[in-house]
């Protein structure tokens, strides 16, 4: 009898934990700004957010221009881009946070929020990217990050809407359509 009760309690607790984990969203995470200050992503609740793992020495680095352009185009409507430097692919982001910040501002006039460098792949993957790449939790958008400039579009509720791989330009028609659709859901 005691064994049955313990088993039932374990199942209930496990089930509750699974339910609670299923409710997790992007806004439950905190990163650090490129200047090292805590930056709870909950600050962006109610906005449409694009998370992008970026690098300064990548063939896709010129996408910074398109990212800044779409940020400028949509920011007044509740859209924000968050650049997240990572050095996981070909050592293409070797600099310090200060060097990355200077590069982004001087070369691409980046004004969207930039975070401190993190790992988006491997054993030291930051918790946000563990969540973003979880294939079981997000079958449509999960899966390992393949390269720099992978883009996740997140709705105002913190749920992942879609994912764009690095070769998809930030200002492509498919990205613009996804942003427009997400922004249309905002209550103004």
Catalytic annotation, residues: 58
CA-CA-CA-CA dihedral for 52, 21, 141, 116, to nearest 10: 10
């Amino acid at each position: 009898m005691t064994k049955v009760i313990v088993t039932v309690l374990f199942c209930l607790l496990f089930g509750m934990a699974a339910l609670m984990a299923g409710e997790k969203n992007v806004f439950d995470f905190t990163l650090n700004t490129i200047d090292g200050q805590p930056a709870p992503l909950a600050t962006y609740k109610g906005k449409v957010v694009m998370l992008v793992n970026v690098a300064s020495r990548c063939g896709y680095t010129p996408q910074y221009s398109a990212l800044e352009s779409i940020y400028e185009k949509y920011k007044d409507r509740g859209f924000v881009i968050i650049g997240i430097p990572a050095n996981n692919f070909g050592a293409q982001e070797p600099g310090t946070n200060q060097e990355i910040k200077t590069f982004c501002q001087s070369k691409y006039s980046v004004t969207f929020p930039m975070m401190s460098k993190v790992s988006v792949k491997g054993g030291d993957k930051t918790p946000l990217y563990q969540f973003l790449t979880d294939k079981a939790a997000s079958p449509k958008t999960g899966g390992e990050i393949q390269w720099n400039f992978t883009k996740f579009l997140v709705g105002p509720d913190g749920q992942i809407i879609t994912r764009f791989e690095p070769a998809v330009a930030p200002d492509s028609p498919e990205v613009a359509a996804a942003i427009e659709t997400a922004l249309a859901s905002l209550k103004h």
